[in-house]
């Protein structure tokens, strides 16, 4: 073999060796690039899942808060409406009581009320200011002497009987009957205010 052939053979050997090294380096670079891409994809997927989870939690919290607010507003509106209807009902009752105290049936009812709850001697019968002119007719419904006095707390009508010693008072007013009906309604329907 001559020197040219040896040189050609050597150059081919170096070229093959270099080509093999380049091919190996390319394979290693490609594997490294695939691994980097896979890691980047995994990181991106984890970041995306974390972002979605945070957004979902934020949206869920906002939804729950909104639903709670809607529920609260609905309940408040319902309670307000119920209170308005209730007061309308009891305002109508109050008007009927006021009309009754202005009617001709009021004096006979007061006489009967006083005779059925006969006061002791020297007791004081408490009336609303507007009912004081009835004291003459009312005193005829009982057999013992009593005094009559206006009581500013009696607004609707009826009467209270204060014992002679001033220690006991029996309330037979329309005001108390009205208030008791209102308390009973609240209590029976389990609405706040039934025990007040």
In CATH, what number is assigned to the domain containing residue 120? 3.30.2320.30
Please check whether residue 193 lies inside any domain of the structure.
no
Report the DSSP beta bridge partners of residue 127.
150
pLDDT confidence tier of residue 196, bands split at 50, 70 and 90: very low
Q: What is the pLDDT of residue 61?
A: 81
The 10s digit of each residue's pLDDT in 53-97 is 887 888 888 878 887 887 787 777 777 777 777 777 778 888 888
Residue 174, judged by CB atoms within 10 A of its CB (0-12, 13-18, 19+), counts as buried
Question: Is this prediction's pTM over 0.85?
Answer: no
What share of the chain has pLDDT > 70, as a percent?
92
Name the range with the highest mean pLDDT among 2-11, 40-49, 128-137, 177-186: 128-137
- 190 backbone dihedrals φ, ψ, rounded to 5°: 50, 50
Last residue of a domain, one of 95, 114, 139: 95
Q: What is the pLDDT of residue 151?
A: 92
Please count the other Cβ atoms lying within 10 Å of the Cβ belonging to residue 160. Answer: 20
Going by C-alpha positions, the residue among 95, 98, 113, 96 that lies closest to residue 154 is 98
Say if CB 118 and CB 144 are below 8 A apart: yes
Say if CB 118 and CB 142 are below 8 A apart: yes
What share of the chain has pLDDT > 90, as a percent?
27
Report the DSSP beta bridge partners of residue 161.
125, 170
- 122 backbone dihedrals φ, ψ, rounded to 5°: 65, 15
Average pLDDT over residues 128-155: 92
DSSP-derived secondary structure letter, 154:
-
Q: What is the pLDDT of residue 192?
A: 58
Owning domain of residue 166: 103-188
For residues 122 and 169, what is the distance between their CA atoms, to the nearest angstrom?
13
Provide the domain count of the chain. Answer: 2
191 pLDDT exceeds 80? no
31 pLDDT exceeds 50? yes
Please check whether residue 43 lies inside any domain of the structure.
yes
The 10s digit of each residue's pLDDT in 99-111 is 999 999 999 999 9
- 3 and 78: one domain? yes
């Amino acid at each position: 073999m001559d020197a040219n052939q040896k040189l050609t053979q050597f150059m081919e050997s170096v070229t093959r060796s270099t080509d093999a090294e380049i091919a190996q380096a390319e394979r290693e670079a490609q594997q490294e690039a695939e691994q980097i891409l896979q890691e980047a994809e995994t990181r991106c997927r984890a970041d995306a899942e974390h972002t979605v989870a945070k957004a979902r939690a934020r949206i869920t919290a906002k939804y729950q808060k909104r639903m709670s607010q809607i529920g609260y507003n609905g309940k408040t509106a319902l309670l307000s409406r119920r209170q308005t209807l209730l007061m309308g009902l009891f305002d109508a009752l109050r008007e009927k009581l006021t009309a009754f105290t202005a009617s001709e049936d009021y004096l006979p009812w007061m006489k009967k009320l006083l005779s059925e709850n006969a006061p002791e001697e020297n007791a004081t019968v408490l009336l609303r200011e507007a009912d004081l002119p009835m004291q003459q007719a009312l005193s005829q419904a009982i057999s013992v002497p009593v005094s009559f006095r206006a009581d500013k707390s009696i607004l609707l009508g009826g009467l209270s009987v204060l014992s002679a010693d001033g220690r006991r008072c029996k309330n037979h007013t329309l005001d108390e009957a009205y208030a008791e009906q209102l308390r009973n309604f609240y209590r029976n329907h389990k609405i706040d205010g039934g025990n007040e």
